[in-house]
Structure 1
Amino acid sequence: MKAFVVEKTEEKKFISSIKDIDIPKIEKDEVLIKASYSSLNFKDALSSIGNPGVTRVFPHVTGIDVSGEVIQSNSKNFKKEDKVVVTGYDLGMNTNGGHQEYVKVPASWVIKIPQGLDEKEIMIYGTAGLTAALSINELQQNSINSGKVLVTGATGGVGSIAVSILNKLGYEVTTITGKRDKIEFLKSLGAKEVILREEFDIDNKKPMLSEVYDAVVDTVGGQYLAHALKQLKHSGVATCCGLTSSHELNTNVFPFILRGVRLIGIDSVEIPLEKKQYIWNKIASEYKVSNINNLVTQISLEDIKATYEKMLNSKVSGRYLVKID
């Protein structure tokens, strides 16, 4: 079968290419999926250059998510021809991922695609959509059911889907982007206001600022999250799921003890399968957006390497869907 393979040639040196490799053989409680679609995520791009925080086992097939059809099953929970999706856990990290024609995974990682989505649609959302939906679910669980929401890193996969879902649900969405040429794109997704990165005063040293936002969906971390926390209204909520700006958070306690602000971490990798199923069901129903196809660029296995280079240089927007078969 064909696969996008990353190989280590020497210390800190890696190459990647499309290769022919053997179709894996499944064991007890595993399934073999004929892949239909995968996607590209920033974590995949990091894996492709040998980032040790993501992947340490080489040769390696990237792709932290996949959708397709079960063709072999050694699990009582799945049968041949079941349409399924896998996101997170170790897929695409140190276990060969979705950028190959056949994918072997433990049955405990697999979810049947819910009614209302097909193999293509669910992978347009993919890990990014799951993360965005988890973030919005936390807002709702913490009584933020309306109001003004700030989305950072809004042209990325998580950010753009978050904007679309929040707009559908009736929130007033403000976005931050460093890409002036994407202002109209963000407005087409439902952003009411677009703030350019240089206009977001992250160097302001004041410990608190005027109350502006009911919630923040942060995808970048660092000073953007720190600055946003200062502008949350009383009882506001910030969700945090990314670190493309920085993994460090230099802040103070005032937003938390004077305004009762809550900061909630979002992990889509190791959450229980039951919660993933719950969130996918929401994406298939109340969170499903009509403009999802406007967010996606479809590519093939052969296009992955060049797209990774763009990703690592912040020259992409929206989602990249990889058609496998």
Structure 2
Amino acid sequence: MFDALVVSKDEDSGKTSAAVTQLGLEDLPAGDVTVAVEYSTVNYKDGLCVGPGGGLVRNYPHVPGIDFAGTVEASDDDRYKPGDKVVLTGWRVGEAHWGGYAQKARVKADWLVPLPDGLDTRAAMAVGTAGFTAMLAVMALEDHGIKDGPVLVTGAAGGVGSVATAILANLGHKVAGVTGRPETADYLTSLGASQIVSREEINETVKRPLEAETWGGCVDAVGGAMLARVLGQMQYGASVAAVGLAGGAGLPGTVIPFLLRGVNLLGIDSVMQPFDNRVRAWKRIASDLPMGKLEAMIQPATLSDLPQLGADILQGQVKGRVVVDVNA
């Protein structure tokens, strides 16, 4: 038997509830590889899944947790053997398939990535899906060429923004971190941000299709109106890697930044990345993310903390990376 955070749904009322309970291996869904989970994280999607509305959950009962890292316990696939350290992000784990909020998980071998040298399982989940997404965004900016000048990171105090800030600064770029919480300025500076920009400062600039060419690149973890505003502030030929929808899926702007300034809008999807790109991103994380700065991002948690943390992240109250020790 093992512990798991299970979300259940009352068929009569439609209400959902989450509680730590015990399961057996026979309860796990089908898969090629059984993993002894060590750490998971809390992401925005997890908040939706754990919350009272059930969010993105496809079936009940359900174990949320959209990523995890641990040790292979049993495998029907030759690529993975007992004792191998692995990490998983994406593939609708924690939404359509049971995820990381349990001490055991069973998944398809194709969904896993070998943990690269330089990362242990705790560090991998300090990075997690958010950090993996941040690295994909940085790689996309590099592929299109980062211009001279500061690189803007919106939602900089969140999971994606925190890791993107640390990576970009470590690579030698000047980073301007956008935050709506002034109290996070010292935190962002500790990650390497050389400039702190208030959310109001971005939102209150002149509302024209094109403004002064300011940013040499951007990792946008917010979307919506802020993304539309930022597009008009990019340098000629610069790129915006868009990863988040916290500000909404709409884009209330015009095509002018694309036509007259050659701005590139790069959409980043971390869910179903090809295996080779996932391996490349995790190796880059191990080499280019300053591990010492990970500790400043970490907020430790246990399975019993998750219902409250799910609500907190939906309200924008979580700073950095929540690392869930599922065995604590």
Name the TM tier (shorter chain).
Answer: over 0.9
Structure 1 distance, partners of 2:43, 2:274, is 21
Can you list the C-alpha shifts for 1:255-305, whole angstroms capped at 9, x where unaligned?
A: 111111000000111111211011101111134443111101111111111
Distance 1:320 1:109, change over 3 A: same
Q: How does 1:284-303 map to 2 (within 5 A)?
A: 284-303=286-305
Structure 2 distance, partners of 1:178, 1:74, is 48
SS in structure 2 of the partner of residue 129 of structure 1? helix
Is 1:124 aligned to residue 126 of structure 2?
Answer: yes
Distance 1:165 1:267, change over 3 A: same
Q: How does 1:1-325 map to 2 (within 5 A)?
A: 1-10=2-11, 11-24=13-26, 30-49=32-51, 54-144=56-146, 147-201=149-203, 204-325=206-327
Structure 2 distance, partners of 1:193, 1:27, is 47
Contact (CA 8 Å) 1:7, 1:15: kept in 2 or not? yes
CA offset at residue 21 of structure 1?
1.6
Structure 2 distance, partners of 1:8, 1:271, is 31
CA offset at residue 203 of structure 1?
7.2
TM-score, scaled relative to structure 1? 0.95
What RMSD in Å do the two structures reach over aligned CA positions?
1.7
CA offset at residue 22 of structure 1?
1.9
Can you list the C-alpha shifts for 1:139-187, whole angstroms capped at 9, x where unaligned?
A: 1111217531110011100001111111101111111111111111111
Contact (CA 8 Å) 2:202, 2:230: kept in 1 or not? no
Contact (CA 8 Å) 2:207, 2:229: kept in 1 or not? no
Structure 1 distance, partners of 2:101, 2:17, is 16
The unaligned stretches of length 5 or more in structure 2 are none
Contact (CA 8 Å) 2:154, 2:179: kept in 1 or not? yes
Report the more deviating stretch, 283-292 or 64-73: 283-292
Structure 2 distance, partners of 1:264, 1:289, is 27
Higher strand share: 1
SS in structure 1 of the partner of residue 236 of structure 2? strand
Contact (CA 8 Å) 1:28, 1:74: kept in 2 or not? no
Structure 2 distance, partners of 1:118, 1:145, is 34
Matched to 1:136, the amino acid is V
Contact (CA 8 Å) 1:45, 1:312: kept in 2 or not? yes
Structure 2 distance, partners of 1:172, 1:32, is 43
Report the more deviating stretch, 22-31 or 120-129: 22-31
CA offset at residue 25 of structure 1?
6.9
Structure 2 distance, partners of 1:27, 1:18, is 18
SS in structure 2 of the partner of residue 176 of structure 1? strand
CA offset at residue 26 of structure 1?
7.6
The unaligned stretches of length 5 or more in structure 1 are none
Contact (CA 8 Å) 1:152, 1:217: kept in 2 or not? yes
TM-score, scaled relative to structure 2? 0.95
Task: Give the aligned length.
Answer: 325
Structure 1 distance, partners of 2:273, 2:206, is 36
